[in-house]
Amino acid sequence: MKSTFDVCNPATGQVIERVIDGTVEDAVWAVDAAAAAFPGWAATPARARSDILRRCHELMLRDADVLAALISTENGKSIVDARAEVVYAAEFYRWFSEEAVRGEGSYSEAPAGGVKTLVTHVPVGVAALITPWNFPAAMAARKVAPALAAGCTVVLKPAEETPLTALALGRIMLEAGVPPGAVNIVPTTSAPAVVSAWLAHDRVRKISFTGSTGVGRALLRQAADRIVNASMELGGNAPFVITADADVDAAVAGAMIAKFRGSGQACTAANRFYVHADVVDEFLEKFGNAVMALRVGPSSDPESQVGPVISSRALARITALVEAAIADGARIAFQGKIPNSGLFYPPTLLVNVPFGAQILSEEIFGPVAPIVTWTDESAMLASANNTEFGLAGYVYAGRLQDALRIGEQIAVGMVGINRGIVSDPAAPFGGVKQSGIGREGAHEGIREYQETRVYSVDWA
């Protein structure tokens, strides 16, 4: 008899489902299955792999309502956010169905003559994929689709809070024609043991991890033992800069998305708002009004815009961060309302946040917006860059030149210019500094699952 674990709705605490708790033995078995399926999948013509991925996209959209309901039940996000995630996730299958058939290489003559050089790209092998709970469909799709497009087979460990969406994607992939063994999903409460077993397995040639910087760092150390190719999508601490001549209404609309999507639990979430002194009063009033109008509640309420946070630990952490900010001199300017029960934190705007406050250096991962007023651009940029993270940033400015000048000086992988969202399957997603290594999506995404191979041909 296999042991199981409970998956709960964070809005109500109710158990939704019990899932088999994967063991190290299961983990090894999954790699063996992926390794057995690898030669066949890698040899499948790219057009056939592409057609299957395209079918995954279509089936996800066919099942969008069911998938959105599942995501919002196990993750807690509003049904609107969950639907948007399904469309975003499905797009990775479509995008990589298109990339699958755009294999590239080169044929050239060595400078000394007498030798021709052929360069091609081959699938790296079995890939181990580890995903977080905050985008249960999108983070899985963003890894699985390029891996399959490249000809790799995979083992996937979803977060234990949200395994049901990954399992639903697994069923969709089987229906679409992904052969058995090509995708192996192992939900587990023993993440360290399962992932260590994968990194120790001689058939695993790739790890792609999305999650916190601390865990990523530990996995990189383990990957070093067998020199496993590693891609890391880690934490963020995005600054959101508003200049004196920015369109304040547009900045408020962007701030609402960048801050409150998924209750602020996105790696790209705006973590710190740097608002120029000339517009701070207007911005605060309009942002405050928008925050007070937000409807916070469980996803079973179709009108709800902001759901709960993922766990009581997360709730306690956010509460402590806000208390520390107040101790640092900040003040709550606006705070929304929440239901009487459930893991909800009220949408909160903090003002008078000093440049050195702890809340500016940590990933809040909750619906709290600290607002810093600036006048001196270089001091603002120094504060914006005073973090180990470098994932995303946002700039709202009246002139594109100013937005780009400021954007160029923020040390991040992605900058939103006059928009509150940077994610796009067709754009390379990833960070600098301790926010990660590698890129997902776009043309770069498939290359993360390929090795470059050279044939050096005697032409004398």
* Residue 74 Cβ vs ligand NAD, minimum distance, rounded to whole Å: 13
**Measured at the alpha carbon of residue 322, what is the angle toward residues 316 and 328, in degrees to the nearest 5?**
135
**Measured at the alpha carbon of residue 77, what is the angle toward residues 71 and 80, in degrees to the nearest 5?**
90
Q: Residue 93 or residue 283: which is nearer to ligand NAD going by CB?
A: 93
Helix (H) or strand (E) holding 255: helix 248-260
| 323 is known as an active-site residue | no
- Applying CB under 6 A, the site for ligand NAD has a residue count of 28
**Measured at the alpha carbon of residue 221, what is the angle toward residues 217 and 227, in degrees to the nearest 5?**
125
Q: Residue 167 or residue 275: which is nearer to ligand NAD going by CB?
A: 167
* Residue 230 Cβ vs ligand NAD, minimum distance, rounded to whole Å: 13
Helix or strand or coil: residue 273?
Answer: strand
Question: Per-residue contact track with ligand NAD, 209 to 248, x per CB under 6 A?
Answer: -xxx--x--xx-------------xxxx------------
DSSP state of 45: -
How far apart are the C-alpha atoms of 96 and 15, rounded to whole Å? Answer: 35
Q: Which residue is nearest to ligand NAD (CB)?
A: 211
Q: Residue 139 or residue 351: which is nearer to ligand NAD going by CB?
A: 139
Note the Cα 84 to chain centre separation in Å: 14
Residues 135, 265, 20, 155: is their CA dihedral positive or negative?
A: positive
Candidates 74, 85, 91, 267; catalytic one: 267
Provide the residue type at 140 as one letter.
Answer: A
Question: Per-residue contact track with ligand NAD, 130 to 149, x per CB under 6 A?
Answer: xxxxxx---x----------
Q: Which of residues 338-397 bind ligand NAD (CB under 6 A)?
A: 363, 391
Q: Dihedral of the CA atoms 230, 271, 139, 435 (nearest 10)?
A: 0
* Residue 135 Cβ vs ligand NAD, minimum distance, rounded to whole Å: 6
How far apart are the C-alpha atoms of 273 and 372, rounded to whole Å? Answer: 6
Candidates 85, 91, 233, 440; catalytic one: 233
Helix (H) or strand (E) holding 62: helix 46-62
| 267 is known as an active-site residue | yes
Q: Residue 211 or residue 288: which is nearer to ligand NAD going by CB?
A: 211
CB 141 within 8 A of CB 116: no
Query: Is there binding between residue 160 and ligand NAD (CB under 6 A)?
Result: yes
* Residue 254 Cβ vs ligand NAD, minimum distance, rounded to whole Å: 19
* Residue 238 Cβ vs ligand NAD, minimum distance, rounded to whole Å: 10
- According to DSSP, the residues that pair with 172 across neighbouring strands are none
Q: Residue 130 or residue 280: which is nearer to ligand NAD going by CB?
A: 130
How far apart are the C-alpha atoms of 397 and 9, rounded to whole Å? Answer: 40
Q: Residue 195 or residue 246: which is nearer to ligand NAD going by CB?
A: 195
Q: Which residues bind ligand NAD (CB under 6 A)?
A: 130-135, 139, 157, 159-160, 191-192, 195, 210-212, 215, 218-219, 233-236, 267, 363, 391, 431, 436
Q: Which residues are catalytic?
A: 233, 267
